[in-house]
């Protein structure tokens, strides 16, 4: 009987060590998988933040330039055409990816970031709508012959009425976008 207990005691250490290693191996896979998932999520967040922030920044930059056309009564046809083309490209890119960005923000960030992005996009749409009200002015400018473009009294009146609204919408867009990007 003593040999049985002695044998059990000598093998118990080996059995206990094997059991502990086996249990740790099972849980270590779980822990390693969670660490990998966390790292992949962080990398994904960084990648998507870069894309979203670049699209939003490009839109704001082009919105600022578009607002300057009327504010400074720019009269260079090639410059106006270039600004309008760049603005349209940036708004198309931003709006085309809007719901994709909503899904990413909802999946990888919190509700606050989602709501801040939503507010920034609402303001982008407001600005775009106000700018489109000036399309007749821009169309008249780009239809003029090359050389120094002239602003008619009707165009001046449109710019006078829409200019303050456009500037205000642009400032709000900048503020909401900055809040979103700084808290992202």
Q: What residue ranges define each of the domains in the chain, with the CATH number in brackets?
A: 45-183 (1.20.120)
Cα–Cα distance between 24 and 18 in angstroms, integer? 10
Cα–Cα distance between 180 and 178 in angstroms, integer? 5
Query: pLDDT, tens digit, for every residue of 112-152?
Result: 999 999 999 999 999 999 999 999 988 888 888 777 778 88
Cα–Cα distance between 35 and 116 in angstroms, integer? 29
Other Cβ atoms less than 10 A from the Cβ of 112: the count is 11
Band of pLDDT at residue 29, cut at 50, 70 and 90: confident
Other Cβ atoms less than 10 A from the Cβ of 54: the count is 11
Greatest C-alpha distance within the chain: 114
Q: Give the tokens for residue 171.
A: 């400032």
Q: Give the tokens for residue 81.
A: 């055409």
Cα–Cα distance between 167 and 176 in angstroms, integer? 14
Query: pLDDT, tens digit, for every residue of 55-76?
Result: 999 999 999 999 999 888 888 8
94 near 55, Cβ under 8 Å?
yes
Cα–Cα distance between 45 and 104 in angstroms, integer? 8
| Per-residue pLDDT, 1 | 58
Query: pLDDT, tens digit, for every residue of 160-174?
Result: 999 999 999 999 999
- For 158, residues 6+ apart whose C-beta sits below 8 A from its C-beta are 133, 134, 136, 137
Query: pLDDT, tens digit, for every residue of 91-119?
Result: 999 999 999 999 999 988 899 999 999 99
Q: Give the tokens for residue 24.
A: 């740790």
């Amino acid at each position: 009987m003593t040999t049985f207990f002695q044998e059990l005691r000598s093998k118990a250490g080996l059995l206990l060590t094997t059991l502990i290693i086996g249990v740790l191996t099972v849980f270590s896979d779980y822990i390693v998988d969670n660490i990998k998932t966390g790292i992949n999520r962080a990398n994904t967040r960084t990648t998507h933040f870069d894309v979203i922030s670049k699209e939003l920044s490009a839109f704001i930059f082009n919105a600022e330039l578009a607002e300057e056309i009327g504010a400074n009564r720019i009269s260079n046809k090639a410059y106006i055409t270039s600004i309008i083309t760049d603005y349209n490209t940036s708004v198309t890119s931003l709006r085309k990816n809007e719901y994709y960005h909503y899904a990413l923000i909802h999946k990888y960030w919190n509700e606050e970031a989602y709501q801040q992005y939503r507010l920034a996009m609402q303001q982008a749409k407001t600005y775009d709508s106000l700018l489109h009200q000036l399309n007749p002015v821009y169309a008249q400018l780009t239809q003029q012959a090359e050389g120094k473009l002239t602003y008619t009294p009707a165009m001046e009146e449109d710019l006078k009425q829409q200019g303050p609204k456009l500037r205000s919408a642009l400032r709000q867009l900048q503020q909401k976008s900055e809040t979103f990007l700084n808290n992202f």
